[in-house]
Chain A
Amino acid sequence: NAGVTQTPKFQVLKTGQSMTLQCAQDMNHEYMSWYRQDPGMGLRLIHYSVGAGITDQGEVPNGYNVSRSTTEDFPLRLLSAAPSQTSVYFCASSTIQGRNSPLHFGNGTRLTVT
């Protein structure tokens, strides 16, 4: 009963480095999304997807890329990391079959950019 799995749990990058945060879900959910959580800012939506091959921007997309080649996976790419991207990142998924379907969250990736 895995749900939403995020890897890695922790990551330290130097400015300018690139990396991919992985997210996988085993619930056959159509909707997947990425949030960042910063103190006092709540959750801010980065990118989201409603199915394989379909992605769209959220509130804070700059500096991040996504793709959705399968229903299960939704990786988040940082092409050139900046200190402002130090944050905790959460992946979340849900079905879109009902408007009151809740989001299922992973346990997060804590990223530090030095």
Chain B
Amino acid sequence: AQSVTQLGSHVSVSEGALVLLRCNYSSSVPPYLFWYVQYPNQGLQLLLKYTTGATLVKGINGFEAEFKKSETSFHLTKPSAHMSDAAEYFCAVSDGGSYIPTFGRGTSLIVHP
């Protein structure tokens, strides 16, 4: 069974600073990887998804994620945080045998002025 670990339930950064949200997964087969964002009082929406063969995936709002197979990681980054980036971020993984994703527990991004 696959699992997803998001290190840090809360990450705090200053506006303009680098954002790094960590995601590690365990999967016995090549995974399908996703990052979702949840703004307050809203549902989750897709930020980006891994495409087979790519190592760097670009998403919306300036976010990127790097796939590292050797480290089984799919960390999310953004060079410069905006106040509007404050939200909950979820990493999710599914393998080739199921279309039901496994979600991490989420990381709350706090952006200070």
Contact A100:B103 (CB < 8 A) given known A90-B43, A107-B42: no
B105 in contact with A42 (CB, 8 Å): yes
B12 interface residue per 8 A CB criterion: no
Could you show 27 A-B contacts with beta carbons less than 8 Å apart? A31-B99, A33-B100, A40-B105, A42-B103, A42-B104, A42-B105, A42-B106, A43-B103, A48-B100, A90-B43, A92-B44, A96-B99, A99-B32, A99-B94, A100-B32, A100-B49, A100-B52, A102-B34, A102-B36, A102-B46, A102-B49, A103-B44, A105-B36, A105-B44, A107-B41, A108-B42, A108-B43
- A residues near B (Cβ < 8 Å) are 4, 31, 33, 40-43, 45, 48, 58, 90, 92, 94, 96, 99-103, 105-108
Total interface residues in chain B, CB < 8 Å: 25
- B residues near A (Cβ < 8 Å) are 9, 32, 34, 36, 41-46, 49-52, 90, 92, 94, 96, 99-101, 103-106
> What residues of chain A lie closer than 8 Å to B101, measured between beta carbons?
103
> What residues of chain A lie closer than 8 Å to B99, measured between beta carbons?
31, 94, 96, 99, 101
Contact residues of B: prevailing secondary structure: loop
Closest A residue, CB atoms, query B34: A102
B96 in contact with A99 (CB, 8 Å): yes
